Structure 1
Amino acid sequence: MEQTPISMRKHIAIIGKTNAGKSTIFNLLLGQDASIVSDVEGTTTDPVVKAAELIPFGPVALIDTAGFGDKTELGRQRMQKTQQILRRADLILNVIDAGDVTAAEEYKGSVPVIPVYTKCENVSANLLKKYKEENPNAVFLQKDSAEALDSLRKTITERLKEQEKEDNTLIGDLLPVGSRLLLIVPIDSAAPKGRLILPQVQLIRDCLDHHMKAYIVRETEIEEALQELRKIDLAVTDSQAFAIANKSIPPEIPLTSFSMLLARQKGNFEQYLAGAVQIAKLKNNSRVLVLEGCTHNTTHEDIGRVKIPALIQKKVGVKCEYTYCAGYQFPDNFKDFDLVLSCGMCMVNRREVSTRLEKLRDAGIPVVNYGIALAYLNGILERASYIFTHPKK
């Protein structure tokens, strides 16, 4: 569990007024002093994100945020950072000082919230009873109370397990047990030395979890693999090898890409498909926003910065203006763009991706995933998306 990527962990954000006890809870859940705890207001400045193991749930990411209530210009900037990071939260702990409940700020959003009252040893028994009656779903913490901390862990686990039911598998609901997959993995200058990229690793693990067999080859070994393997239920290729795979894989074998599988798992697949057809409507100087989930050194084989822009110019006959954002950056002026291109977002968690897609949908801005865009530009989108509309399971 220690090696679980941050993007695959449930994110728990801790919010509340300054000096309410957020960092104390953060450290208690983490089991170490990762955030500075002080009576001085505004001790936590930028959000702090740490990977942790929440027993018995499993791997999570804990987020300590700057406190509400700082009216200075610096405080306003801190709040902007807090609001940005809340986009990725799967669960929010709203920390409230039991002795100062009137100053508590109510979270207004769609993310599930657990109210957590701290410093309960400082209020009367009658007042504490009143708070518990008014907030039956809240957790009440007292200093040095192991029982109360266990109650908080249990409540968090229950809420997160409810969400687990909604999580999608990459392949488990598309194919039956025992299926055979041919995974096509090109090795070029952009491929990391000595390892596979995360979407490839995730799919291999998903195959193992669902009792499927995965066979891995390079794009130059497809025909040889087809001769050796008697039966293939699905071929999955790196998006940049779509043209080669489409030519080499017989039409009776479904074909898709790692990126398209990830797009369905993390976002609104239909929204991406609708965005693909908008590529043909681009004009010279159309503004395209490219969202990359990680920072990396670009090469002449970079998909988002080289290959897709070149294909758009070749297939559509236009030169667009491209703007790039990496990691969790998402520009405030996203409404100014004609199209958004998004990588597979293997390094960004599902909640953040969903939040972005909702904003783009509400603003009427088309968005398309790299894999879907490459399938469209190679003229094989119908074939590459067939497995999703006609699952074999």
Structure 2
Amino acid sequence: MKKKILITSFDLAIGGVERSLIGLLNQIDYQRFDVDLVLFKHEGEFLPYLPSGPNLLPEIPEYTTFRKSIGQIAREGYYRIGLFRLMAKYISLFHGRMKHINEPGYLNIQYGWEFTNSFLPKLNNEYDAAIGFLWPHYFIGEKVKAKKKIGWIHTDYSNIDINKKVEAKMWGKVDKIVAVSEDCSKTFLNIFPDFRNKTTVIENILSPEFIREQAMMDNPIDLNKTSGKTILLTVGRLTPAKGLDDAVRACKELVEKGYDIAWYVVGYGPLENDLKKIIKELGMQSHFFLLGKKTNPYPFIKQCDIYVQPSRYEGKAVTIREAQILGKPVVITNFPTAKSQAVDGFDAIITPQNIEGIVKGIQNVIDNPGLRERLISNVCSKDYGNESEINKLYSLIEA
């Protein structure tokens, strides 16, 4: 008899977590499992990529409020949710200012769920396993009946600010915790060592065949490929974590050193206007380009000369692995989980996490054709496919 599974996330907007969810849903054996999928909002550029296997349940109106403005929540009649969301916002801002942190958004999300949880409805269905794919995991922890509850970690816990007591309470209501890399697991367990026995690693599932097929779907005219020009590319949300402000400044230094480069960024996010301002102030309008949202980033990766990930922190950057699958020389900063992504000098250049490091890493690849060819040869010869990771999930469900 088939086991019944629930998988939950927020929506299918463009993002690494969402691409990873599509990868997971494509690998599940639907002859073996009945899968219900809860998306709090039925929207996002990746929605057309949703496979036919899972049964997408209807939206639950109260859960659609979590990325709406407080004014919109009030206009829709959810006054208590709006009031407690407002309280969460001000408490998280105060807490963040006091601790001088860069990411108070995590606190806002955490308190938003904690304060409004009692006003949110339960799901009536019962499951053999409930999987929360996107943090936080209040929904599967308290609103779903399941024999086993599994919560995913996609981020580096050493770089986010949370209320540890509230967070421990949430994780205490799941049976298994899945981190997407060993380093991601370590940063989590450094803060919550009591959860060691129920924490495991399952990497984001990537299909090289699918990525290569998607890379052939289009020929981007946005990339101005001319003779002698080096095309750099970064894919990611425009947030502090991605280090794109440092990227613009590194671009300026490379141009001043005489390098003919064009650096393109595929992605969107809250720092778009700030980045445009920096680009203008540094006079980089002819060298650094924000391309915005792209449902399929793979043709852009395929067309670039060097893929660069200048991040301050990552859980597991799917885009790095995708660039390697597409045979690109990769330059990444030494963020805390970088060594779980690549081997320095073999399938990437890992640079110090600053502007000077980014500049020298890119220079190294441009100036040394032998190094560049060796990196390309190594990534092309290595099998980055990990579809077998799905068996680890099966083991957790059936144990």
TM-score with structure 1 length normalisation? 0.26
TM-score with structure 2 length normalisation? 0.25
Name the larger-Rg structure: 1
